């Protein structure tokens, strides 16, 4: 087994008296495709926020490639190669689609991948081509459709040249064929050796995509294993369907 | 146009303009132009933080006054000449901006605006009670009898200086706007969290942009005590600086360096005109009316309107 890329150990996050995450352990190996599922409010997004650095966990440790990143601000984590997309798209609305990608290319990707200034736009266009937004490169990102905004959200995370990409419900509200588009995109990342954590309610997509699935319920991880065994797990069924 | 060429062209134009306008016989021109240029610098400076980065600073008057009172202090202490006052005032205002940024930029949106306003009030009270720089009585800063470059009066000199400083402020603003830094600032303005998660060191960039913005505001104030030879707190901390430095970029357009320039020249000139022809009390009323008009009719200012028109034409 390869050394872990991301190691989350005993992470606890409280909001006042409410414990959103309670001693969560979670490991991702390089190039692995992991699904993270759980009912609404189970702490999936909180876990993502703790990993990406937009929230600070009170207890536990988070290591990325063996480095403890708990004290790192979010911008330093993405520079190490830990990118995330947002559940609710957050485009830089005053910029064109192309410029949206230039931000992570300039600020994050340049850290570990030498990109000459002239190649930034070229690289941005290449990524836009991958997600099927090349035709909208000069459009203002604030005016995109919801589907295109989700693609842009993924493209922007990809532009940071991550080693681990966390996709936070990139497929919510997409049609079946659009889900397949996004899935193809994420499979493409696997070929480039990028590990992916997929948070999703679209079960068809998660089951198809994931090599391993972790289940969070009320801030605790109750199952972690290959998709078939997780779906058969009695506790998981109980959490989703009740007794 | 590259930054260097733009800098050379802008400064050359400013110097040429300063030289040619010396031939204007009307003394009032220099006084009016000085005021308009002062607003060009203030608006440009405000826009670096307000327009590029998206943080509204209500304390422009405070930084303007820091520049002005640094000149007064150095004049009282060492009879320091104008260039020393300019450099020192810019630096002191920059350091004050750094402090404001460090203390308050963890606050977002309206809370930062309130904090900046509070700073202005605190500084005002501080200066009113500081006897060395004149306190509430005000202080005299005598214009040197010998005016360099063979200029007839001192106002001619500080008008020229203000013109060059305005050009400098524009060069700084445009350089920031076109740089990687400018792109990072724009990302912060659009969505701070997404910017941080795209690798932009948001806190560092915000503090830097506050520092530059405040330093330039201070620079605008350094010549002010010489303008009237007299300065007192309520004129240095006047509400009109805070209001105008917000209104001018809003009217001109906040996305580019040209917006504040256009807004300041337009609004500043109108105010000067009204001051002479109608009454000085109408100034802020005009700002208010124009502001309401623009916010409703052209929310992205004159430049935003021009951009939209260009895009339509381009299609």
> The complex's ipTM?
0.88
In this complex, the residue of A78, A91, A102 whose CB is nearest that of residue B183 is A102
In this complex, the residue of A83, A103, A111 whose CB is nearest that of residue B183 is A103
Distances (CA, A) of A59 to A21, A25, A43, A48, A218: 10, 12, 15, 15, 17
- The number of folded domains in chain A is 2
Q: Which H/E stretch holds residue B121?
A: helix B110-128
What's the start-to-end Cα distance of chain A, in Å? Answer: 37
Q: Is the dihedral of CA B222, B227, B232, B234 positive or negative?
A: negative
What CATH number does residue A38 fall under? 3.40.50.300
**pLDDT the model gives residue A111:** 62
Does pLDDT of B280 surpass 80? no
User: Are A33 and A144 found together in one domain?
Assistant: no
Q: Which of A139, A161, A183 is the last residue of a domain?
A: A161
Cβ atoms B126, B1 nearer than 8 A: no
Does pLDDT of B315 surpass 70? no
Distances (CA, A) of B112 to A126, B41, B98, B254: 39, 22, 14, 18
**pLDDT the model gives residue A166:** 92
- Phi, psi angle pair for B118, to nearest 5°: -60, -40
User: Are A133 and A33 found together in one domain?
Assistant: no
Q: Please give the radius of gyration of chain B, using alpha carbons only, rounded to the nearest integer.
A: 19
User: Are A99 and A139 found together in one domain?
Assistant: yes
For A77, which residue in chain B has the nearest alpha carbon? B199
User: Are A167 and A242 found together in one domain?
Assistant: yes
Q: Measure in Å the smallest separation between the Cα of B204 and chain A Cα atoms.
A: 11
- Angle between helix axes B283-297 and B239-252 (nearest 10 degrees) is 30
**pLDDT the model gives residue B194:** 92
Calpha distance B202→B269 (Å, rounded):
37
Residue B238 burial (CB count, 10 A): 15
pTM of the full predicted structure? Answer: 0.90
Does pLDDT of B73 surpass 90? yes
Q: Measure in Å the smallest separation between the Cα of A219 and chain B Cα atoms.
A: 24
Cβ atoms A216, A43 nearer than 8 A: yes
Distances (CA, A) of B259 to B1, B102, B174, B305, B312: 18, 28, 11, 11, 20
Could you read off the pLDDT of B160-184 as tens digits, one per residue?
999 999 999 999 999 999 999 999 9
- Residues in chain A, pLDDT under 50: 1
Q: Which residue has the higher pLDDT, A113 or B31?
A: B31
Q: Measure in Å the smallest separation between the Cα of B300 and chain A Cα atoms.
A: 11
Q: Which of A145, A161, A177 is the last residue of a domain?
A: A161
For B254, which residue in chain A has the nearest alpha carbon? A94
Could you read off the pLDDT of A86-128 as tens digits, one per residue?
888 899 998 999 999 999 998 888 666 666 777 888 889 998 9
> Which parts of chain B are beta strand (E)?
139-140, 230-231
Q: Which of A129, A144, A161 is the last residue of a domain?
A: A161
Q: Measure in Å the smallest separation between the Cα of B188 and chain A Cα atoms.
A: 8
Domain that holds residue A50: 1-81+162-243
Calpha distance B57→B209 (Å, rounded):
12
- Angle between helix axes B110-128 and B60-78 (nearest 10 degrees) is 30
Q: Which H/E stretch holds residue B219?
A: helix B202-222
User: Residue A86 and residue B189: Cβ atoms within 8 Å?
Assistant: no
Calpha distance B225→A90 (Å, rounded):
47
Within 8 A of A83 by CB-CB distance, chain B residues are 197
B189: contact with A, CB 8 A cutoff: yes
When pLDDT is averaged across residues B17-24 and rounded to a whole number, the result is 86
Contact residues of A toward B, CB < 8 A: 52-54, 73-75, 78-79, 83-84, 86, 90-95, 99, 102-104, 106-109, 111, 156, 160
**pLDDT the model gives residue A1:** 47
Calpha distance A52→B114 (Å, rounded):
31
> Which parts of A32-154 are beta strand (E)?
33-37, 59-64, 67-68, 82-85
**pLDDT the model gives residue B37:** 95
User: Are A153 and A43 found together in one domain?
Assistant: no
Could you read off the pLDDT of B134-164 as tens digits, one per residue?
888 888 888 888 888 878 888 899 999 999 9
Cβ atoms A12, A59 nearer than 8 A: yes
Does pLDDT of B261 surpass 70? yes
Distances (CA, A) of B4 to A157, B9, B161, B173: 34, 9, 21, 13
User: Are A234 and A121 found together in one domain?
Assistant: no
User: Are A179 and A199 found together in one domain?
Assistant: yes
Cβ atoms B108, B192 nearer than 8 A: yes
**pLDDT the model gives residue B249:** 93
Residue with tokens 């050394």: A3
Calpha distance B303→A48 (Å, rounded):
40
For A48, which residue in chain B has the nearest alpha carbon? B197
User: Are A197 and A209 found together in one domain?
Assistant: yes
User: Are A212 and A151 found together in one domain?
Assistant: no
User: Are A152 and A167 found together in one domain?
Assistant: no
**Spacing of C-alpha B183 from chain mean position:** 22
**pLDDT the model gives residue A110:** 67
User: Are A166 and A154 found together in one domain?
Assistant: no
Beta-bridge partner residues of A215: A37, A223
In this complex, the residue of B191, B201, B255 whose CB is nearest that of residue A75 is B201
User: Are A115 and A223 found together in one domain?
Assistant: no
Within 8 A of A102 by CB-CB distance, chain B residues are 183
Could you read off the pLDDT of B209-245 as tens digits, one per residue?
999 999 999 999 999 999 988 999 988 898 889 989 9
Cβ atoms B199, A75 nearer than 8 A: yes
Nearby residues of B287 by Cβ (< 8 Å), 6 or more positions away: B240, B243, B244, B247, B267, B271
User: Residue B191 and residue A90: Cβ atoms within 8 Å?
Assistant: yes
Q: Is the dihedral of CA B232, B237, B243, B248 positive or negative?
A: positive
């Amino acid at each position: 087994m390869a050394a872990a890329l991301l190691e989350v150990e005993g992470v606890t996050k409280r909001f006042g008296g409410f414990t959103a995450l309670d001693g969560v352990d979670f490991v991702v190996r390089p190039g692995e495709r992991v699904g993270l599922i759980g009912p609404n409010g189970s702490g999936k997004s909180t876990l993502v926020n703790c990993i990406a650095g937009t929230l600070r966990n009170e207890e536990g440790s988070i290591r990325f490639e063996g480095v403890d990143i708990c004290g790192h601000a979010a911008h330093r984590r993405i520079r190490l190669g830990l990118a995330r997309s947002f559940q609710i798209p957050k485009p830089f609305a005053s910029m064109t689609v192309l410029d949206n990608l230039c931000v992570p290319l300039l600020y994050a990707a340049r850290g570990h991948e030498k990109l000459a200034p002239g190649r930034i736009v070229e690289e941005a266009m290449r990524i836009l081509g991958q997600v099927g937004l090349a035709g909208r490169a000069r459009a203002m990102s604030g005016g995109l459709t919801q589907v295109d905004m989700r693609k842009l959200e993924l493209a922007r995370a990809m532009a940071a040249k991550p080693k681990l990409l966390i996709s936070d419900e990139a497929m919510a509200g997409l049609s079946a064929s659009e889900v397949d588009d996004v899935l193809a995109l994420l499979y493409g990342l696997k070929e480039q050796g990028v590990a992916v954590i997929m948070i999703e309610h679209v079960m068809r997509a998660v089951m198809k995509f994931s090599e391993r699935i972790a289940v969070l319920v009320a801030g605790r991880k109750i199952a972690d294993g290959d998709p078939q065994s997780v779906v058969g797990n009695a506790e998981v069924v109980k959490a989703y369907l009740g007794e | 146009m590259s930054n260097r060429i733009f800098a050379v062209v802008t400064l050359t134009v400013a110097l040429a303009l300063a030289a040619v306008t010396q031939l204007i016989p009307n003394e009032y021109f220099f006084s009016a132009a000085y005021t308009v240029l002062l607003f060009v610098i203030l608006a440009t400076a405000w826009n670096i933080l307000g327009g590029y980065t998206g943080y509204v600073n209500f304390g422009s008057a405070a930084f303007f006054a820091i520049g002005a009172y640094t000149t007064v202090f150095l004049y009282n202490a060492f009879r320091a000449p104008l260039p020393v006052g300019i450099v020192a005032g810019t630096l002191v205002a920059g350091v004050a901006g750094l402090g404001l940024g460090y203390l308050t930029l963890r606050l977002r949106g309206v809370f930062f605006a309130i904090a900046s306003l509070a700073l202005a009030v605190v500084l005002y009270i501080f200066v009113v009670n500081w006897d060395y720089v004149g306190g509430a009585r005000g202080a005299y800063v005598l214009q040197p009898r010998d005016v360099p470059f063979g200029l007839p009066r001192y106002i001619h000199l500080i008008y020229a200086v203000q013109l060059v400083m305005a050009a400098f402020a524009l060069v700084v603003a445009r350089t920031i706007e076109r740089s990687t830094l400018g792109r990072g600032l724009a990302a912060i303005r659009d969505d701070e969290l997404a910017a941080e998660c795209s690798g932009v060191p948001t806190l560092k960039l915000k503090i830097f942009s506050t520092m530059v913005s405040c330093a330039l505001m201070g620079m605008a104030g350094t010549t002010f005590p010489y303008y009237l030879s007299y300065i007192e707190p309520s004129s240095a901390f006047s509400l009109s600086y805070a209001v105008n430095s917000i209104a001018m970029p809003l009217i001109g357009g906040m996305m580019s360096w040209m917006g504040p320039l256009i807004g300041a020249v337009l609004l500043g000139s109108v105010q000067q005109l009204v001051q002479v022809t109608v009454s000085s009390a109408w100034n802020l009323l005009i700002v208010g009316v124009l502001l309401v008009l623009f916010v409703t009719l052209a929310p992205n200012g004159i430049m935003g309107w021009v951009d939209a028109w260009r895009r339509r034409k381009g299609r």
